[in-house]
Amino acid sequence: MKEKVLTEHFGLENLYKIDVYKKQGGYQATEKALKKMKPEEILEEVKKANLRGRGGAGFPAGVKWSFVPDTDKPKYLCVNADEGEPGTFKDRYIMSHNPHMLLEGIIITSFCVGIHAAFIYIRGEYEAIALRLEQAISEAYENGFLGKNILESGFDLDIFVHRGAGAYICGEETALLESLEGKRGVPRLKPPFPASVGLWQCPTVINNVETISNISHIILNGAEWFVKQGLPKDGGTRIFGVSGMVKNPGIYELPLGTSLKDIIFKHAGGMKEGKKLKAVIPGGMSAPILTADEINIKMDFDSLVEANSMLGSAAIIVIDEKTSILDVLKVVTKFYSHESCGQCTPCRIGNSWINKIVKRIAEGKGKKEDIDSILRLASNIEGNTLCPLGDAAAMPILSITKKFRKELESHV
């Protein structure tokens, strides 16, 4: 039986308060994990649950945790709450509606990996949510779920909320670490990976808010149940954030593998004002665009890769026929040009160059060869940058330009 996992109680008033949360069975998973389970058992369960990262890359969480080496150094957990991918707004719902679910995930993950300090790196604009998290954290301390000797298990944990300063790049895990360390937020060269050399050069687990929020459910209901909520290799549900020209934009928690067509036309109520669908960006702005003919597709990691796109953060941006694709391209190129950290050459100059061309086309000064220039420059960025931001920019630019070339040509 498939059901809502993460958003089940979202409608409940004051769910963010610990008493309400506890009445819904809150913190039972923490009790179970800390009192009845060994860290190895938790790790085994999470691995079996095939919980893949919800931030965009889809890396299995359990496997990531198992990369953390056994050392005397302190280990850290960083929860990536720098939700900045355009179209993505699921984590803010989780954190504002049910912050304790996230805290439970953090406690269990930290217990499993042997972590005593966890950081929630939250985007600067989420000021109110950061406050709510702080309140939830202090409630958790008061109730003995944080601090020293949690539930008399001998396990200690502190959680800190750190607000970002407004850079998209700080959602990239190594730039997040730099920023958390108080430095300029630019990505680090990998390897070494954060699991071995992360925050302050110590082993560090970095997971997305939604990923961590699933942990308490896996512990409480078991890996087998979790897998049943999704696909065998891709356990659990997914919170799809639907935005754009649909009747009912919002978040929809659905099993992985739900068809994109159903999400748009059944769950989100179909197109706004009866307009025709033109295109869909299926996984946050970085995901290659799909045309209206390509929406008969299952929303899971592998199906989208097959369709040369990606599930990413599962943020679905719906574009109708009235929207100019040049406007879409302008928004996309402006965003990446603005958000490129500037560290590496192709991303720094390539994105700005493409944006300058697109702006010129929009001003009516485009030339025929500009379309080919956009394609050439984007493919020179793709695969050649220091961090995934280069690809994140090149993928939508290439797919939009290729799939809607005719329409773009009509502007030059």
Partner 1 sequence: MQEKANEMIKIFIDKEPVEAEQGTTVLKAAERAGIHIPHLCYHPAFPPEGSCRMCLVEIEGFPKLELACSTVVKDEMKISAKSERVVKARKAVLEFLLAEHPLDCPICDKAGDCKLQDYYDEYGLFESQFKEAKEKREKKLKIGKSLILDQERCVLCTRCVRFLKEVTTTQDLGVFHRGVHSSVNIYEGAAVENNYSGNLAEICPVGAITDEDFRFKTRSWFLKEGESICPLCSRGCNILIEYHPGFPRFEVPKRVYRIKARENPEVNDFWVCDRGRYGYSYLDEHRADKIIMNKIEGENVLTWENISEYLGEKIKRLSSAKKTSGIALILHTWLSNEELFLLHKIFKDDLKVEKIFFADLPQGEADGYLLTSETSPNRRGAQEIGFDIKPVDLDALASGTDFLLAFGPFLSGLFSPKDLKAALNTVKRKVLFSSYTHELNSLFDIVLPVALIAEKEGSLTNVEGKVQGFQPALEPPGESLPEWKVLSDLGKELGIDSKFYSELPSPEAILIEMGKKIPFFKKKND
Query: Per rule CB under 8 A, is residue 333 in the interface with partner 1?
Result: no
Nearest distance from C-beta of residue 330 to partner 1, angstroms: 15
User: Of 132, 247, 272, 348, which lies in the binding site for partner 1, with binding defined by CB under 8 A?
Assistant: 348
Nearest distance from C-beta of residue 399 to partner 1, angstroms: 19
Element (H, E) at 118: strand 117-122
Query: Per rule CB under 8 A, is residue 346 in the interface with partner 1?
Result: yes
Query: Per rule CB under 8 A, is residue 71 in the interface with partner 1?
Result: no
Nearest-angstrom CA–CA distance, 256 and 265: 17
Count of positions on this chain that bind partner 1 (CB under 8 A): 28
Interactions with partner 1, residue window 152-171 (CB under 8 A):
167
User: Of 199, 353, 395, 400, which lies in the binding site for partner 1, with binding defined by CB under 8 A?
Assistant: 353
Query: Per rule CB under 8 A, is residue 308 in the interface with partner 1?
Result: no
State the amino acid at position 178 in one-letter form: E
Q: Which of these ranges, 47-55, 75-83, 283-291, 384-392, lies near partner 1 under the rule CB under 8 A? A: 384-392
Query: Per rule CB under 8 A, is residue 244 in the interface with partner 1?
Result: no
Closest CA to 208 of 49, 68, 92, 70: 92
SS3 40: helix
- Measured over the CA atoms of residue 52, residue 18, residue 27 and residue 39, the dihedral's sign is positive
Residue 134 half-sphere exposure, CB side, CA atoms within 13 Å? 10
SS3 318: strand
User: Of 48, 247, 267, 360, which lies in the binding site for partner 1, with binding defined by CB under 8 A?
Assistant: 360
Closest CA to 366 of 408, 322, 324: 408
Query: Per rule CB under 8 A, is residue 305 in the interface with partner 1?
Result: no
Residue 368 half-sphere exposure, CB side, CA atoms within 13 Å? 0
Query: Per rule CB under 8 A, is residue 337 in the interface with partner 1?
Result: yes
Nearest-angstrom CA–CA distance, 268 and 250: 8
Query: Per rule CB under 8 A, is residue 179 in the interface with partner 1?
Result: no
Nearest-angstrom CA–CA distance, 134 and 205: 21
Query: Per rule CB under 8 A, is residue 296 in the interface with partner 1?
Result: no
Q: Which of these ranges, 114-122, 143-151, 325-333, 349-357, lies near partner 1 under the rule CB under 8 A? A: 349-357
Nearest-angstrom CA–CA distance, 289 and 236: 25
CA 139 from centre of chain: 26
- Measured over the CA atoms of residue 258, residue 262, residue 264 and residue 268, the dihedral's sign is negative
Give DSSP secondary structure letters for 185-236.
--PPPSSSPTTTS-GGGS-EEEEEHHHHHTHHHHHHH-HHHHHHTSBTTB-S
**Beta carbon nearer to partner 1, 385 or 399:** 385
**Beta carbon nearer to partner 1, 62 or 346:** 346
Closest CA to 394 of 324, 348, 344, 336: 336
**Beta carbon nearer to partner 1, 117 or 349:** 349
Query: Per rule CB under 8 A, is residue 412 in the interface with partner 1?
Result: no
Q: What angle do CA 287, 290, 291 make, to 5 degrees?
A: 155
User: Of 37, 227, 341, 398, which lies in the binding site for partner 1, with binding defined by CB under 8 A?
Assistant: 341
Query: Per rule CB under 8 A, is residue 340 in the interface with partner 1?
Result: yes
**Beta carbon nearer to partner 1, 144 or 192:** 192
Interactions with partner 1, residue window 183-202 (CB under 8 A):
184, 189
Nearest distance from C-beta of residue 95 to partner 1, angstroms: 26
**Beta carbon nearer to partner 1, 110 or 343:** 343
Enumerate residues 6+ apart whose C-beta is below 8 A from 257.
230, 231, 234, 298, 299, 300, 303
Query: Per rule CB under 8 A, is residue 403 in the interface with partner 1?
Result: no
Q: Which of these ranges, 100-108, 215-223, 264-272, 342-350, lies near partner 1 under the rule CB under 8 A? A: 342-350
Nearest distance from C-beta of residue 190 to partner 1, angstroms: 9
Binding-site ranges for partner 1 (CB under 8 A) = 167, 184, 189, 337-346, 348-353, 356-357, 360, 373, 380, 383-386
